[in-house]
């Protein structure tokens, strides 16, 4: 079936910001508000099998206010307490809001695949809090927590079409199955993170350039959508771990870093469409990377990057790991060379 992928987007954004600061001996409060006015014109084509492309255009405008409040309080010479409340937004990508779509009128029910120019941006209220402690030798230990309350959550899936956006004269495509990006209802994201950074300057030379950096994040979240409540929040692992050993000594810089994350939802399903699959997850995996730098001079730097030394396999499965739908191995990657700065 031919596809019409040509589309244009004319977007104009006007914004203004105001801020006030109140400070005292042991802390400060910063408050502000941002105003945004957005206007979009999105044009493209609908392409149905055996029919000429049909041009379509959508025009939209919206205004939003984004207040924020930030607090810093010094608990002593080495300890700081931070907190913030803010309103923010995440707009859909240009590809997600394109009007272009491919349509099949032959299937029963008919199908539509393409962009969704009716998407609204995600709007989020965020709460953040953190306790930070400066350790001897220029290190830092911290515990932080956050919560996000999201309206109009963006997700990719399949739903029953209930709009006239893809209709043509004499052709009503209400009830077709449309595959695209959609807005859910409300979502919740929350988590806590433990982080530690320390350079071991107490070690004798030449080992005093070595150090450690790591963090552990425990996360959770879900969102509601028409036809389903409590869907897993896309892209959110329950556990994320990062750890690295590094050396920063004169012209030499070296780092061995590992990352690991638990299973996370990729594409939610189960929205009441006939034949709809369940949730798709990406299986837990870990990476090991090594980077090396040696500055021979200010202009000449030797470098070597070794990525994915664990030869990780990326697996997508449906509901249970016993039902994989995609297996991908991108292999180890090695990059070495000389960089010249002029």
> 275 pLDDT exceeds 80?
no
pLDDT of residue 119: 92
Angstrom CA distances, 203 to 169, 196, 199, 207, 210, stand at: 78, 18, 9, 6, 8
pLDDT of residue 53: 83
Read off the pLDDT of residues 41-77 as tens digits, 9 standing for 90 and up. 888 888 887 778 888 888 889 999 999 999 999 998 8
Q: Which pLDDT band, with edges at 50, 70 and 90, does 4 fall under?
A: very low
Average pLDDT, rounded, for the chain: 88
pLDDT of residue 302: 93
- The closest alpha carbon to 223, from 264, 189, 265, 251, belongs to 189
Taking residue 89's Cβ as centre, other Cβ atoms within 10 Å add up to 16
Identify whether the C-beta of residue 87 lies closer than 8 Å to the C-beta of residue 39: no
Distance CA 291, CA 258 (A): 12
> 1 pLDDT exceeds 50?
no
Read off the pLDDT of residues 290-328 as tens digits, 9 standing for 90 and up. 999 998 888 899 999 999 999 888 899 987 888 888 899
User: Domain segments of the chain: what residues?
Assistant: 8-183
- The closest alpha carbon to 94, from 181, 189, 202, 192, belongs to 181
Distance CA 42, CA 191 (A): 37
Q: Which of 65 and 266 is assigned the larger pLDDT?
A: 65
Q: Which pLDDT band, with edges at 50, 70 and 90, does 274 fall under?
A: low
User: Concatenated DSSP letters for 271-316?
Assistant: SS-TT----EEEPPEEEEEEEEEEESSSSEEEEEEEE-TT---EEE
Phi and psi at residue 106, to the nearest 5°: -85, -40
| Contacting residues for 2 by C-beta, under 8 A, at least 6 apart | 47, 49, 102
């Amino acid at each position: 079936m031919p596809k019409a992928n040509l589309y244009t987007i004319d977007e104009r954004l006007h914004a203004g910001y105001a801020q006030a600061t109140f400070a005292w001996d042991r802390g400060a409060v910063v408050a502000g508000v941002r105003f945004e006015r957005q206007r979009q014109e999105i044009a493209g084509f609908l392409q149905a099998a055996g029919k000429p492309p049909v041009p379509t255009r959508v025009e939209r405008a919206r205004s939003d206010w984004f207040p924020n409040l930030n607090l810093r309080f010094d608990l002593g010479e080495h300890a700081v307490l931070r907190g913030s409340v803010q309103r923010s937004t995440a707009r859909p990508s240009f590809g997600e809001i394109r009007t272009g779509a491919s349509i099949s009128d032959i299937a029963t029910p008919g199908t539509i695949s393409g962009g969704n120019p009716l998407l609204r941006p995600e709007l989020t209220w965020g709460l953040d809090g953190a306790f930070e402690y400066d350790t001897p030798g220029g290190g830092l230990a911290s515990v932080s927590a956050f919560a996000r309350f999201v309206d109009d959550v963006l997700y990719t899936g399949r739903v029953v079409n209930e709009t006239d956006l893809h209709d043509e004269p004499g052709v009503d495509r209400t009830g077709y199955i449309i595959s695209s990006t959609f807005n859910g209802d409300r979502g919740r994201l929350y988590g806590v993170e433990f982080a530690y950074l320390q350079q071991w300057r107490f070690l004798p030379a030449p080992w005093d350039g070595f150090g450690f950096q790591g963090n552990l994040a425990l996360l959770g979240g879900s969102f509601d959508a028409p036809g389903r409540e409590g869907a897993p929040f896309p892209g959110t692992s329950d556990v994320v771990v990062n750890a690295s050993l590094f050396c920063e000594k004169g012209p030499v810089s070296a780092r061995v870093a590992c990352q690991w994350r638990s299973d996370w939802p990729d594409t939610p399903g189960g929205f009441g469409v006939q034949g709809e699959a369940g949730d798709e997850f990406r299986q837990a995996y870990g990476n090991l990377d090594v980077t090396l730098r040696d500055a021979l001079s200010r202009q000449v730097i030797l470098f070597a990057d070794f990525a994915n030394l664990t030869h990780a396999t990326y697996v997508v499965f449906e509901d249970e790991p016993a039902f994989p739908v995609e297996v991908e191995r991108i292999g180890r990657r090695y990059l070495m060379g000389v960089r010249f700065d002029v």
